[in-house]
Amino acid sequence: MEFKKTVMLGALVAGTLAAGVAMAAEQFIGLPSYRVGAYAAGGSGIYGGWIDYMNLINERDGGVGGVKLVWEECETEYNNARGVECYERLKNKGETGNSMFSPLSTGITYSVLDKVADDKIPLVTIGYGRTDAADGRVFPWVFPLITTYWSQATTMIKYIESKEGDLKGKKIVLLYHDSAYGKEPHAVLDRMAADKGFTVEKIAVAHPGNEQQSQWLQIRQIRPDWVILWGWGVMNPTALKAAAKTGFPRTKMLGVWWSGAEEDTIPAGSAAKGFTAAGFNVAGADYPVIKDIKKVVYGKSLGNMEDESRVGSVYYNRGVVHGIIAVEAIRKAQEKYGKGKALTGEQIRWGYENLNIDDKKLAELGAAGFMPPLKTSCMDHEGSGKVKYQSWDGAKWKVVTDWIDADKQMVRGMIEESAAKYAQEKGITPRDCSKEM
C-alpha cells in the first residue's frame, strides 16, 4: 500500500514536472516594429494585428502545439541603421534565439539579407522586399511570401483588361514613388506593354510626394485610359486629391497594395471615392478570425490597438496575415522537429518552406477569403501570386474581385533570370531542390 502511494506520488510529481517543462516552452519572436515616426500608422496597424493574433493563439489554443508564443518589440522607426541594430539585439533572445525577422521595410530587408544566412534566421518579407528572392534555390533564408510586386503588376494589367477588353492602343500611366520600390514594376509593365500593345508612361514623384501638381498636369496632357498608382505614405492621398483637382476619374486609378489602406483614402476625403487598389489581404471585421480576436483578446482587455476601431482595417488585417503565416510555419516545423519545445530559426525556416495553407485550412483558421491559399516549396518562396481588388466607397473598402492569378509563367521566368544573375555575382551555388525534403 505504502509502495503504491509512493509510486502514485512519484508519478504525480513527475507529471507535474513534465507539465511544468511543457508549460515553460516558449517560442520567441522578435518584432522590429515602428510605432513612431513617419510610417507609424502602417507599423502600428500591422504589428498590432500580428500581436493580437499571437495573443489569440495563446489565449484560445494555449499556444502552438503547447508552446506559448512570446515576443519583444524593437522600434526601428523604419530606419535601416536602427533595423540592423534591432536585428542584432533580437537574434539571440529567447530559448532558441529569434524565430524569424520581418522588418516591414525593403531597406532593412536589404541590410540584413546576408546576415540571416549566417545566423540561420528566416527573413520573412510579405508583400515587399526583393522579388527575385522568390527563387528559394538562391535565397533559402528569404521568403517574399504570398505575392511579389512583379506578380502584382501582372494582375493589375489583368484587372484593367477585364474592364477595357483589348488593351491594344490604350495608354497607361505609372505614377510611381521615385525609389527602388517605385521602380520595381517597370520591367514587368514594359514587357506586358510590348506583348499586349498598350503604351506605358512612367512619371516619377519625388519623396515624400506631398506635392504633385506638375505630375498631374502632365497626366492631364497625356490623357491616359488608366493611372496605376505605385505610392507610399503621403504620396497616396496627395495623388487622389490631385486627380480630383485635374478631373481625372478615380474609377480609372488602380493602386498598389501600399496605396490601398484606410490611411491612404481617409485623408483624401471625397476625392478617394471610386479608387481601387490591390491587396493580398482584404479589409473587414466580419471574418471569424477577427471576430475571435475581438471576443477572446479584446474581451480580456489584451488588445494591442489603442484605437479598437482600427481592428478590421487593411493594415491591421495584414498584420493578422503575418501572424497566421508565422504560426502555421511554426506548426509545420513542429510536425517535423517535435511538439512541446521551442524550435530554432533553422527549423522554422523549414516550416516556411513547406507551408500548405489551402482553402480547407483557411476555413479552419476562420480566414476563408481573407488571404489567398499559400503553398511554398524549395523552388517557390512566393507561394501564391494571387491578388484581390478592393474599391473605396467613401467610407470603407469593398472587395470587387475574386483572387486574380498573376501571369506566373512570365514572372517566374524573370525571377529565375534575376536570381541566377545574383547568384553569379555573389558566387552562390543554387540548391538542388530535388534533394530537399
Closer to another protein by CB, 13 or 206: give it.
Answer: 206
Task: List the one residue from 234, 368, 379, 420 that touches another protein (CB under 8 A).
Answer: 234
Q: Is 186 in the site for another protein (CB under 8 A)?
A: no
For the CB of residue 7, give the shortest distance to another protein in the complex, in Å. 60
Who's near 293: CB < 8 A, 6+ residues apart? 52, 53, 55, 56, 303, 311, 320
DSSP assignment of 115-147 equals HHHHHT--EE-TTSS-GGGGBTTT-TTEE--B-
Cα 410 to its chain centre, rounded Å, is 22
Sign of the C-alpha dihedral, residues 416, 417, 422, 423? positive
Enumerate residues 238-297 that contact another protein by CB under 8 A. Answer: 238, 241, 244-247, 263, 266-269, 271
On whether the CB atoms of residues 164 and 170 are closer than 8 A, the answer is yes
Enumerate residues 77-116 that contact another protein by CB under 8 A. Answer: none
Residue of 250, 204, 259 lying closest to 229 (CA atoms): 259
Q: Which three cell numbers stand for residue 123?
A: 527573413
Task: List the one residue from 23, 38, 70, 423 that touches another protein (CB under 8 A).
Answer: 38
For the CB of residue 176, give the shortest distance to another protein in the complex, in Å. 9
On whether the CB atoms of residues 235 and 365 are closer than 8 A, the answer is no
On whether the CB atoms of residues 281 and 318 are closer than 8 A, the answer is yes
Tell me the window of 68-76, 129-137, 211-219, 380-388 that interacts with another protein (CB under 8 A): 211-219
Q: Is 306 in the site for another protein (CB under 8 A)?
A: yes
On whether the CB atoms of residues 74 and 86 are closer than 8 A, the answer is yes
Closer to another protein by CB, 92 or 210: give it.
Answer: 210
Closer to another protein by CB, 38 or 70: give it.
Answer: 38
For the CB of residue 124, give the shortest distance to another protein in the complex, in Å. 24
Enumerate residues 5-34 that contact another protein by CB under 8 A. Answer: none
Task: List the one residue from 215, 304, 347, 354 that touches another protein (CB under 8 A).
Answer: 215
DSSP assignment of 59-105 equals HHHSSBTTBEEEEEE---TT-HHHHHHHHHHHTT-SSSS-S-B--S-
Count of residues touching another protein (by CB under 8 A): 44
For the CB of residue 350, give the shortest distance to another protein in the complex, in Å. 36
Question: Using CA atoms, how far apart are residues 388 and 187, in angstroms rounded to an integer?
Answer: 22
Instruction: Give the x-and-dash track for 307-346 against another protein (CB under 8 A).
Output: x--x------------------------------------
Q: Is 35 in the site for another protein (CB under 8 A)?
A: yes
Question: Using CA atoms, how far apart are residues 86 and 111, in angstroms rounded to an integer?
Answer: 12
Q: Which residues bind another protein (CB under 8 A)?
A: 35-41, 43-44, 178, 202-208, 210-211, 213-215, 217-218, 220-221, 233-234, 237-238, 241, 244-247, 263, 266-269, 271, 306-307, 310
